[in-house]
Chain A
Amino acid sequence: MWKILDGEELERLRKRLFERYGITEIPYVIVKSGKRKYRATTKDASKIRIAQLVGIYVLKETPFGLMFSIEGTQLFGPLARKNVFEISSEIIEKWMHGEDLEVNSRNKLERGLVIVRSEDLYLGSGLYDGQRIRNLLPKSRKVVG
């Protein structure tokens, strides 16, 4: 089931998003679904208490910190001020096939979870290990073949 985050829980989440991604605001109602997942929705949808699910899955607790889903990067990516990795449009296909990304040593990324984007297209999350970004797209969202 799911529950709406109260003011304190939301503030804790906001602080963590600020520390990792430089995000200062959460312009959605956030609900916790199960032990590890967060979903974003509207105020009206969050009032449907009988619903099995509301809104969309945007964030997950992982051993590496808070990881955005593809849609999470699309909703929150434009608000992020750091740990966003930009790729050229030619690389999108490789990323969507599940390949890792090579990272230039002059980048400003911190080790850990990062948002991947190409211009205004947000492409999900990866894990930066200091040398490359490991592809964390779920299997069902990768292009096959």
Chain B
Amino acid sequence: MVSRIMSSLIDERRVPLTVQDLKKELKERYKVLLRSEYEKFINCLFQKSPTFIRLNPMKTSVKWLHEKDWEVERVPWYEFGYRVVKGPENIGNTAEHRLGLFYVQDAASMVPPVVLDPKPGEMVLDLAAAPGSKTTQMAEMMRWRGVIVANDISMRRINVLSSNVQRMGSINVAITRLDGRFIHKVFGKERFDKVLLDAPCSSVGEARRNWRPLIRWSMRLVLRLSKLQKELATAGYISLRPGGRMVYSTCTIEPEENEEVVQHLIQLGAEILQVEIPGLRFRPGLLEWNGRKFDSSVSKCLRIYPHYNDTLGFFVCLLEKPER
């Protein structure tokens, strides 16, 4: 019971944590990785992130927001994304949230679907879909036509995914519970027009809303996740049709979980594409880390640091499988 209470306090950032509490290994590593930006990055992690919402165009319009006593600012890179400057304290416990008029989702988390740009009628694979933020965003981008196969391996996470799909009215979603590393063995190779792999990761970019990633961080965890991410990325790439596009994203800044996975996809034949997102500040992907050099096209990836746009941290890469 005590550990459950402690766990929830950590998740909600209600226990005090300071820079001094961070693991020495993490701090030293991030000083090398971030160089002159280290201080800004770390300081930002200790500031709670703003609240962002994504309006559900199936159920409401921006007119509703203007009728409320809320103060909002539009997210430049997604037409239905808003930053809540002034609004209810517990935004999840409002009639509008319960009715599915909006989804609470960080603005940086809206970027991967924007980059993938799924179209109505397409067949899309969301390989690690829970809790469903990006699944439901893609469903609305597809105007609820075509299909998104939303996969996850954990039953607990699938329950969360299905209740979000329900609340947001995403009728074009099919939920599967498969080991994503072998999904091509179930669906067959080259079946999907588009693939989103928002991979399970060390989630350091999420620390602004949850302390847990900072507490559980270790190099061992990063390396274990990197291996899993490469396996999932391989399955996603095999599932993609020639000419199809895939987004690989994480909410961490670890090169082993980002550029190294992208390099792995390049070795499988992927071509990395340049991305332009109006209003979004980011840093290009690294070309070298820990003595390992990456392909020059890896610089087309987006490193979205939390202090750049006052969001969570993200890494996003758009790639294409060349036509034969």
Distance in angstroms between the alpha carbons of A121 and B101 in the assembled complex = 10
Is A41 touching B171 in the complex (CB atoms < 8 A)?
Answer: yes
Segment with Cβ contacts to A, from B91-99, B105-113, B241-249, B275-283:
B91-99
The residues in A between 12 and 71 inclusive whose CB is less than 8 angstroms from any CB of B are: 28, 40-42, 44-45, 47-48, 50-57, 69-71
Distance in angstroms between the alpha carbons of A74 and B123 in the assembled complex = 25
Instruction: Give the contacting residue for B99; candidates A56, A121, A144; CB below 8 A.
Output: A121
Is A55 touching B173 in the complex (CB atoms < 8 A)?
Answer: yes
Is A48 touching B169 in the complex (CB atoms < 8 A)?
Answer: no
Q: Would you call A140 an interface residue if the criterion is a C-beta within 8 Å of the partner chain's C-beta atoms? A: yes
Instruction: Give the contacting residue for A143; candidates B98, B148, B166; CB below 8 A.
Output: B98
- A53: chain B residues within 8 A (beta carbon): 162, 174-175
Is A143 touching B95 in the complex (CB atoms < 8 A)?
Answer: yes
Identify whether the interface residues of B are mostly helix, strand, loop, or mixed: mixed
* Given A45-B147, A144-B93, A54:B174 Cβ within 8 A: yes
* Given A52-B158, A144-B93, A42:B100 Cβ within 8 A: no
A91 to chain B, nearest CB (A): 11
A139 to chain B, nearest CB (A): 11
Q: Would you call A7 an interface residue if the criterion is a C-beta within 8 Å of the partner chain's C-beta atoms? A: no
- B175: chain A residues within 8 A (beta carbon): 51-54
- B123: chain A residues within 8 A (beta carbon): 44
Q: Would you call A96 an interface residue if the criterion is a C-beta within 8 Å of the partner chain's C-beta atoms? A: yes
Is B177 touching A52 in the complex (CB atoms < 8 A)?
Answer: yes
Is B169 touching A75 in the complex (CB atoms < 8 A)?
Answer: yes
* Given A42-B145, A52-B176, A93:B95 Cβ within 8 A: yes
Identify whether the interface residues of A are mostly helix, strand, loop, or mixed: mixed
* Given A51-B174, A145-B93, A70:B100 Cβ within 8 A: yes
Q: Would you call A82 an interface residue if the criterion is a C-beta within 8 Å of the partner chain's C-beta atoms? A: no
Residue total for A at the interface (Cβ-Cβ under 8 A):
32
B166 to chain A, nearest CB (A): 5
Instruction: Give the contacting residue for A141; candidates B98, B148, B169; CB below 8 A.
Output: B98
Q: Which chain A residue shows the least CB distance to B162?
A: A53
- B98: chain A residues within 8 A (beta carbon): 96, 141-143
The residues in B between 82 and 124 inclusive whose CB is less than 8 angstroms from any CB of A are: 93-95, 98-100, 121, 123
Is B174 touching A45 in the complex (CB atoms < 8 A)?
Answer: yes
Contact with B along A92-121 (1 / 0, CB 8 A): 110010000000000000000000000001
- A144: chain B residues within 8 A (beta carbon): 93
A14 to chain B, nearest CB (A): 18
Is A96 touching B169 in the complex (CB atoms < 8 A)?
Answer: no
Distance in angstroms between the alpha carbons of A80 and B145 in the assembled complex = 23
- B237: chain A residues within 8 A (beta carbon): none
Q: Which chain A residue shows the least CB distance to B149?
A: A48
Q: Would you call B186 an interface residue if the criterion is a C-beta within 8 Å of the partner chain's C-beta atoms? A: yes
Q: Would you call A133 an interface residue if the criterion is a C-beta within 8 Å of the partner chain's C-beta atoms? A: no
Q: Would you call B229 an interface residue if the criterion is a C-beta within 8 Å of the partner chain's C-beta atoms? A: no
Q: Would you call B146 an interface residue if the criterion is a C-beta within 8 Å of the partner chain's C-beta atoms? A: yes
Q: Which chain B residue shows the least CB distance to A28?
A: B171
Q: Would you call B144 an interface residue if the criterion is a C-beta within 8 Å of the partner chain's C-beta atoms? A: yes
Q: Would you call A123 an interface residue if the criterion is a C-beta within 8 Å of the partner chain's C-beta atoms? A: yes
Q: Which chain B residue shows the least CB distance to A54?
A: B174
B322 to chain A, nearest CB (A): 26
Is A123 touching B146 in the complex (CB atoms < 8 A)?
Answer: no
Which residues of A line the B interface, CB within 8 A? 28, 40-42, 44-45, 47-48, 50-57, 69-71, 74-75, 92-93, 96, 121, 123, 140-145
Q: Give 23 CB contacts A-B under 8 Å.
A: A28-B171, A40-B171, A44-B121, A44-B172, A45-B172, A50-B176, A51-B176, A52-B176, A53-B174, A54-B174, A54-B175, A55-B172, A55-B174, A56-B166, A56-B169, A56-B171, A57-B166, A70-B100, A74-B59, A93-B95, A121-B99, A123-B99, A142-B98
- 9 tightest CB-CB pairs across the interface, nearest first? A48-B174, A96-B95, A51-B174, A44-B147, A45-B147, A55-B171, A53-B175, A42-B172, A45-B174
Which residues of B line the A interface, CB within 8 A? 58-60, 93-95, 98-100, 121, 123, 144-149, 158, 162-163, 165-167, 169-178, 186-187
